[in-house]
Amino acid sequence: MSLVLDNVTLTYPDGDRDRVLAVDGVSLSVPRGRLVGLTGPSGCGKSSVLSVAGTLITPDSGHVEVAGATVEDLDAEDRARLRREQVGFVFQHDNLLPDLTALEQVLLPVHLAGGRPSRHRARARDLLAEVGLADAVDRRPGQLSGGMRQRVNIARALMGEPAVLLADEPTSALDSHRAAEMIDLLVRLVSEHDVAALFVTHDMRALDDADEVVRMLDGQVAELTHAR
């Protein structure tokens, strides 16, 4: 398993004394090459689960494993390294920098990790070609459609060859046609890049194509469906 959450509980401070129970004993696991859809009503804890899975938030209790590493055993520095090396994120909004070309956006993680972008340019170009942007490598976000920007995001998330890909409603800002294309693309990339993907969505198409669907309600896993 590339991603394991076992009995994870997470609370947030709420006012002076109370805490909100955002994730309540959630267990799930995602093997490499599989796409797990995470769905449920707004506020049920989906983004919180993703933040825990991506080691962005340390849960109050429970066990988290990413690419074989036990997250609760790591200090902040090792967690950050694990996140950088093994986790790719795709968010609802594309988070692209307005002045960078598509190629530069994809190379940004290499920059941030202190690597030399020149050595990685060919791979970045290949990834952009894989997401259908071979002809757009030199375009800046203002010259790309919403769907294209989201595809740059996906290429960037895969740049570090992560074991785990986390996507939070990546199709919710797209029309249904573009959303369907995006889902087909994600399904293909998950198997080609052999990543464990956890994908928050309300899109029925996406849930149909997922290997497994986890339905949350009030911070808990309400239902788990094996699609195939």
Give the binding site for Mg ion (CB under 5 A): 46-47
Which residues on neighbouring strands pair with residue 157, listed in sequence order? none
Residue 13 or 114 having the CB closest to ligand ADP: 13
CA distances for 156 relative to 56, 61, 198, angstroms: 18, 31, 17
Examine residue 42 and tell whether it contacts ligand ADP (CB under 6 A): yes
Examine residue 101 and tell whether it contacts ligand ADP (CB under 6 A): no
Kindly report the backbone phi and psi dihedral angles of residue 204, in degrees, each rounded to the nearest multiple of 5, phi listed first: -60, -40
> Rounded CA gap, 99 and 80, in Å?
26
- For residue 168, the minimal CB distance to Mg ion (Å) is 6
Binding partner selected for residue 43 from ligand ADP, Mg ion, none, CB under the kind-specific 5 to 8 Å limit: ligand ADP
Helical (H) or strand (E) element with 177: helix 176-192
Binding partner selected for residue 201 from ligand ADP, Mg ion, none, CB under the kind-specific 5 to 8 Å limit: none
What is the number of residues in the chain?
A: 228
Residue from 7, 12, 115, 217 binding ligand ADP (CB under 6 A)? 12
Q: State how beta strands 87-90 and 164-168 pair.
A: parallel
Task: Provide the 10 A C-beta neighbour count for residue 13.
Answer: 9
In the numeric block, the tokens 């994600």 are attached to 186
Examine residue 46 and tell whether it contacts ligand ADP (CB under 6 A): yes
Residue from 26, 30, 35, 48 binding ligand ADP (CB under 6 A)? 48
Residue from 8, 30, 36, 44 binding ligand ADP (CB under 6 A)? 44
In the complex, which residues of this chain contact ligand ADP (CB under 6 A)?
12, 20, 22, 42-48
